[in-house]
Amino acid sequence: MNISIDPRANISPTSTKNKATDPDESKLKSLRKSCREFEAIYINEMYKSMRKTVPDSGMFEKNMADTLYQEMMDMEMARQTAAGDGMGIGKSMYEQLKQQHFPDDHK
């Protein structure tokens, strides 16, 4: 068995800070997640308002199950919308809150 190690693959010790165990890094991840969740809630409320403007055709009978399913689908669509870049609300909130709580950090 021929095992060779590429010398370029060695990691140089340029930073002594471990990002996986850095408490500030985990706080930033938590902040990012919270901002995305806030944006998802905001988008969900927007979906609810938009749905109220659509008149009911009366073709199908509305019951509790349909209403619940529609609300769950709207919430999941809102989460998916906010998951990436979203509308920019969560990203903007994250940047502002990051500067307030971590002013010296430029990540």
pLDDT of residue 2: 62
Please, which pLDDT band fits residue 71 given cuts at 50, 70 and 90? very high
Judge whether 5 lies within some domain.
no
The answer to whether residue 33 is domain-embedded is yes
Counted domains in the chain:
1
Instruction: Give residue 84's domain range.
Output: 23-53+61-101
Answer whether residue 4 is part of any domain: no
Query: How far from 91 is each of 4, 11, 26, 37, 65, CA to CA, in Å?
Result: 44, 32, 17, 11, 34
The model's pTM is: 0.69
Residue 3 included in any domain: no
In 3-state terms, what secondary structure has residue 87? coil
Which residues contact residue 56 at a Cβ distance below 8 angstroms, ignoring those fewer than 6 apart? 62
